[in-house]
Amino acid sequence: MALAICLITMLSAAPMALAAEVLQVRSADLLQVGDQNRSYPVRLGCVEVDASHTVAATEWLRRALPRRTKVNLRPLGSVDGVLLAQVKLLPGGADLGTGLVREGLATRLTPPGAPLGCPASEPPPTP
């Protein structure tokens, strides 16, 4: 437990993105990720999945994130021992939260309800 608190504190204070591997999609917005010999839960921090889309969002994430997929984590904080982060696929940098929003499975959190560090609006589509 002390290691988890220490890890979350370090990740929350870090302004840079950190690389990790997805070990499991646990739910519509919760991943289990690994970094060297550690494993910890990560919640997608800038989106909210509506209860009616939970199953579809979980399936979408499982298709997008086969086991051992490399991702970058941009920590936004933590709640109850779970890291909140923006999660982007490597290589390429596709944001998982944005993907869920584009599929109609989630809504983007905006200030004041969003964690500090979330984009204020949807990024423009890439050509």
Give domain limits for the chain.
2-108
pLDDT of residue 126: 53
pLDDT of residue 59: 98
Query: Distance between CA 31 and CA 17 in Å, rounded?
Result: 16
Query: Distance between CA 13 and CA 61 in Å, rounded?
Result: 27
Domain 2-108 sits in CATH at: 2.40.50.90
| Residue pLDDT, tens place only, 88-114 | 999 889 999 999 999 999 999 988 888
pLDDT of residue 125: 52
- The structure tokens 């609006």 sit at 121
pLDDT of residue 28 exceeding 70, the answer is yes
pLDDT of residue 14: 45
pLDDT of residue 115: 87
End-to-end CA distance of the chain: 45
How does residue 121 score in pLDDT terms, banded at 50, 70 and 90?
low
pLDDT of residue 118: 86
pLDDT of residue 123: 53
| Residue pLDDT, tens place only, 47-101 | 999 999 999 999 999 999 999 999 999 999 999 999 999 999 998 899 999 999 9
Angle of CA points 33, 39, 44, to nearest 5°: 35
